[in-house]
Amino acid sequence: MESIQSIKQRFEIIGQDPKLNRALEKAMQVAITDISVLVTGESGVGKEAIPKIIHSLSHRKHAKYIAVNCGAIPEGTIDSELFGHEKGAFTGATQTRSGYFEVADGGTIFLDEVGELPLTTQVRLLRVLENGEFLKVGSSQVQKTDVRIVAATNVNMFEAIKKERFREDLYYRLSTVEINIPPLRERQGDVHLLFRKFASDFSQKYKMPTIRLDEQAVSLLNKYRWPGNIRQLRNIAEQISVLEENRSITAATLSGYLPNNTSTNLPAVVSNTKAESDFSNEREILYKVLFDMKGDLNDLKKLTMELLKNNDSQKVQKDNENLIRKIYGNDDEEDIDLDQDSQEETNLNVLHLPEPKEDHILTSDAYEDKYHFAEEIEEEETLSLQEKEVELIKKSLERNRGKRKAAAAELGISERTLYRKIKQYDL
Ligand SMILES: Nc1ncnc2c1ncn2[C@@H]1O[C@H](COP(=O)(O)OP(=O)(O)OP(=O)(O)O)[C@@H](O)[C@H]1O
Ligand SMILES: [Mg+2]
């Protein structure tokens, strides 16, 4: 069997942590079998390398490897994407089309964000896993395929099962072997190693001398929680590489880039009376709320697109039942009005959706970068998000002596967006 070191080299995986090594070893061991594998771990930990390793070490390596992001495909089209459709199966299906399960016959399919699969698709997937059988959408002819499935998720699958968003039987089928990638904060020895690697990559990319951390900066790097894991570490290495003129980085400079610090910009709700450890929990809750909101926003975008494409709102509601339930929940008072009469009454081709809760509104581009929250604000802070945004932009411009490029990078928005906001707010 190939050595773990050569696998790391081939897939550009940095790190010596025993837990990471164990995960890679597991991937290498299961590769030669056809066992379904579920890769778990927080966002940004490096899950995507695992299915690639498994495929390339398996007897399927010369056949197709298809990676599907289940969370990015609209609910109305996912069955057709995965399993194909017959001509005339739905409006717009002018030709018979093969799905990924047919195309990848003999190979591997990586189902990323598998927790996002609609329940109806989960039923189809279960059947493929059980006996390799599937039906094209609109067809009654059973087809066979021989596909190895590796799935990944960064959500708690037991929660999803409890909320009846994910089938328990499918979960057990998918996770015959589970490979967990530990969060970066549990791989302390690897943090500086990874930072040095990224710093060296970015110095080459931007043709600048490599940044180096002094001793205190390294210690700060190791102590930080890294909620966005390796993805976040890489982003920070890139920001510092681009923005800092002095290539020797002190702890003070580094702390300006770590969202947990009071010297950085975006707001996080904290309580003055609580201990630091409680604060990190609150921050995590806040991250989660923001992630969920972003997820809701994406779901709403999908739904709006469906409505725009499809004139039949009843059909859209039916096809997207799960998505709608996901966004608006199951509470009685929040039930979506599926009543035909009331639709006709208003004579509108739109969904009768409940009013969004106020705390679901978050539009500022400055909040786009999910790891840029830091400035402490009191719990009773009453500033609106817009006022907060204006304040952040002003501060950032001041800090960067009016240089828009640097301010935009600091705020995590494009220069064009910053320019638009400066005009909009008359700054
Ligand atoms: N050990 C590692 N060495 C070098 N780079 C890594 C390592 N682990 C992850 N990365 C890099 O970090 C980034 C994030 O990894 P990846 O996309 O696999 O995250 P993920 O676990 O799939 O996260 P998500 O759940 O958000 O999709 C990628 O650019 C990846 O190349
Ligand atoms: Mg991923």
pLDDT at residue 406 in the model: 82
User: How many A from CA of 347 to the centre of ligand 1?
Assistant: 49
Q: Find the mean pLDDT for residues 68-82.
A: 94
Identify which ligand lies nearest to the alpha carbon of 115: 1
Q: Residue 268: which of 278, 257, 282 has the closest Cα?
A: 282
Looking at every residue in the chain, the average pLDDT score rounds to 80
The two tokens of residue 372 are 């840029």
Identify which ligand lies nearest to the alpha carbon of 11: 1
Task: Give residue-wise pLDDT tens across range 202-253.
Answer: 999 999 999 999 999 999 999 999 999 999 999 999 999 999 999 999 999 9
pLDDT band at 333 (very low <50, low <70, confident <90, very high): very low
Tell me 85's DSSP state.
Answer: B
Name all residues whose Cβ lies below 6 A of ligand 1.
12-15, 41, 43-49, 154, 194, 230-231, 234
Mutate to test the pocket of ligand 1, among 20, 230, 235 (most ligand atoms within 8 A of CB): 230
User: How many A from CA of 43 to the centre of ligand 1?
Assistant: 8
Inter-residue contact 228 to 371 (CB < 8 Å):
yes
Q: Is the pLDDT of residue 262 over 50?
A: no
User: How many A from CA of 91 to the centre of ligand 1?
Assistant: 39
Identify which ligand lies nearest to the alpha carbon of 49: 1
Q: Is the pLDDT of residue 49 over 70?
A: yes
- Report the run of H or E that residue 107 belongs to, with start and end: none
Task: Give residue-wise pLDDT tens across range 351-396.
Answer: 222 233 333 222 333 333 322 222 222 333 334 556 777 888 888 8
**Nearest-10 Cα torsion for 10, 201, 260, 257:** -170
- d(CA 177, CA 56) in angstroms, rounded, equals 18
- Which residue has the CA at smallest separation from atom 16 of ligand 1? 46
Q: Where are the beta strands (DSSP E) in 370-412?
A: 373-377
Between 181 and 386, the more confident residue is: 181
pTM (two decimals): 0.65
Ligand 1 atom closest to Cα of 46? 18
Q: Residue 165: which of 322, 298, 336 has the closest Cα?
A: 322
pLDDT at residue 188 in the model: 92
Task: Give residue-wise pLDDT tens across range 110-132.
Answer: 999 999 999 999 999 999 999 99
- Which residue has the CA at smallest separation from atom 24 of ligand 1? 43
Mutate to test the pocket of ligand 1, among 20, 43, 45 (most ligand atoms within 8 A of CB): 45
pLDDT at residue 384 in the model: 54
The two tokens of residue 208 are 């600048």
End-to-end CA distance of the chain: 62
- Which residue has the CA at smallest separation from atom 8 of ligand 1? 46
pLDDT at residue 203 in the model: 96
Identify which ligand lies nearest to the alpha carbon of 231: 1
- Most confident among 33-47, 314-328, 339-353, 361-375 (mean pLDDT): 33-47
Ligand 1 atom closest to Cα of 153? 25
- d(CA 366, CA 418) in angstroms, rounded, equals 9
User: How many A from CA of 304 to the centre of ligand 2?
Assistant: 25
User: How many A from CA of 48 to the centre of ligand 2?
Assistant: 5
The two tokens of residue 367 are 């909040």
List, as ranges, residues with CB under 5 A of the ion ligand 2: 48
Between 315 and 67, the more confident residue is: 67
pLDDT at residue 85 in the model: 97
User: How many A from CA of 48 to the centre of ligand 1?
Assistant: 6
Q: Is the pLDDT of residue 270 over 50?
A: no
Ligand 1 atom closest to Cα of 234? 12
User: How many A from CA of 231 to the centre of ligand 1?
Assistant: 6
